[in-house]
Amino acid sequence: MDRTGIGRRIVMAQGGAAAAGLVLLRFPGLAEAFARAFPSRPGEQVLPWLDQPAANPVPQVVGDLLRWEELSSFLTPAERFFTVAHYGQPQVDAQAWRLEVGGLVERPLALTLDALRARPRQEVPFTLECSGNHGLPFLHGAIGTARWAGTPLAPLLAEAGVLERGSEVIFWGADAGEEVLGDITVTQHFARSMSVADAGDPALLLCYEMNGQPLPAKHGAPVRLIAPGWYGVANVKWLTRIEVRDTRLQNRFMARDYVTLRQEPAGSAPGQAGQPTWVETSVGRALLKSAPAFVGRAASGSYRVVGAAWGAPIARVEVQIDGGAWLPATIDHSDPAEEGEFSWRLWSHEWGIPTAGEHRVTSRATAADGRVQPAPDDPWLASKRTYYESNGQITRRVNIPVSMTAPASTAVFAGK
């Protein structure tokens, strides 16, 4: 399917809705998907946002971005889950595959996929988001939620016996590509690292299942790291080796890319009075965030705003229309199985019957610990010079048709 815009996926509805100028999205299977919406509202019309993302200029790297207007369920199907592969998808023979655990350990290990499957199994619903999501004009759907299953990493590290001087754990992938370092060109494998303490978190998994099925190749089969609460880059795919070192990894994906650069104001650092200070930090744990997904119109003519919030246990979500007062949204609690610490919360706000014309819709989330999703002009965000970790409040634009009383049944979804 063409992912460069919505021009080919919209149709003008027939009858009264057409006269009102109500434009509906044309997504394959959308009518069926919204029969399972949260909570289900059969026949609900989904209005397209006016500010659609730009065309994806790097489809060879980023694929299957979420179309927010299609958000209809807690879990994201594997075939529609976004992917990022800087070096492309490697070919991995699952039968010959081994996971090596080495470096500064007492007992190096080499495990087959069957050996990992024979170990205790753990499952976690986790919302995986690329750290660049919403940081670039085209990158507005690099997010999805799945039930990831595998065996916990921490017991494996304990069996290997991390030596006392070991401080960093590196996760190596099978994917590799050429990198230019000064005047030489070398082939490097994708890798990310975290501290021994972080790697010992009991939530981290060596994952071999996604939504109850074997992990698909494009999502890292046979085994990938799942690090709940971390941005996507930490969740290394096509895992082949886990190495313990006493120094921090300084490769492209730790020291050059996936680094947030901020300029702190003059006088904010000791000994730097009068001089701005540049601060560089490697992308790590995910930040609190929310986003409006779509505006829906019921058969009665009333509207609602639906969206998601993630990045922390969510206490509440609020919606703002056209810069007005913050209004409460209702967080969906219809399925206790969806109450995970690391997964998004789906929410909705009853808008009623708004005035016709263009409107701006903004959402903000508040975490259980009191943190509030920042506004775009928040000092931390305003000082940022790189596009990573963009968790500011998101505003979308939507047009409400002139006629708001036309029965919804006069419009149809135009799927395949």
Cα–Cα distance list, 278 to 72, 112, 257, 264, 386 (Å): 42, 45, 16, 6, 12
pLDDT beyond 80 at 275: no
Q: Give me the amino acid identity at 56.
A: N
pLDDT beyond 50 at 181: yes
How many helices and strands, by DSSP H and E, does the chain display? 6, 25
213 CB neighbour count, 10 Å cutoff: 10
Largest alpha-carbon pair distance within the chain? 74
pLDDT beyond 80 at 25: no
Please give the domain boundaries of the chain with CATH numbers for all domains: 7-52+287-410 (2.60.40.650), 83-263 (3.90.420.10)
**Tokens in use for 204?**
């981290």
pLDDT band of residue 408 (cuts 50, 70, 90) is very low
**Tokens in use for 374?**
């920042």
Confidence (pLDDT) at 31: 36
Cα dihedral sign, 162-165-166-167: positive
pLDDT (tens digit per residue) in 242-251: 999 999 999 9
pLDDT beyond 60 at 20: no
Cα–Cα distance list, 109 to 92, 202, 376 (Å): 20, 19, 47
Which string of DSSP letters, residue by residue, matches 7-25?
A: GGGEEEPSHHHHHTT-EEE
pLDDT beyond 70 at 19: no
pLDDT (tens digit per residue) in 374-396: 999 999 999 999 999 999 999 99
pLDDT beyond 80 at 3: no
Return d(Cα 372, Cα 69) in angstroms, integer. Answer: 25
pLDDT band of residue 410 (cuts 50, 70, 90) is very low
Q: Which of 288, 284, 198, 177 is nearest to 234 (CA)?
A: 284
Q: Listing from the earlier edge strand, what are the strands of the sheet with 303-310?
A: 45-47, 289-297, 303-310, 345-352, 330-331
Q: Which of 334, 397, 321, 330 is nearest to 363 (CA)?
A: 321
Q: Which of 311, 287, 307, 291 is nearest to 127 (CA)?
A: 311
Return d(Cα 45, Cα 410) in angstroms, integer. Answer: 10
Mean pLDDT, residues 194-200: 98
Return d(Cα 394, Cα 115) in angstroms, integer. Answer: 45
Most confident of 17-31, 212-226, 268-282, 372-386: 212-226
Confidence (pLDDT) at 337: 76
Mean pLDDT, residues 169-173: 99
Structural element, H or E, at residue 128:
strand 122-129
pTM of the model: 0.86
132 CB neighbour count, 10 Å cutoff: 22
pLDDT (tens digit per residue) in 71-108: 988 999 999 999 999 999 999 999 999 999 999 999 99
Confidence (pLDDT) at 252: 94
362 CB neighbour count, 10 Å cutoff: 22
Least confident piece of the model among 29-43, 95-109, 130-144:
29-43
Average pLDDT of the chain to the nearest whole number? 88
Taking only Cα atoms into account, the Rg of the chain, rounded to an integer number of angstroms, comes to: 23
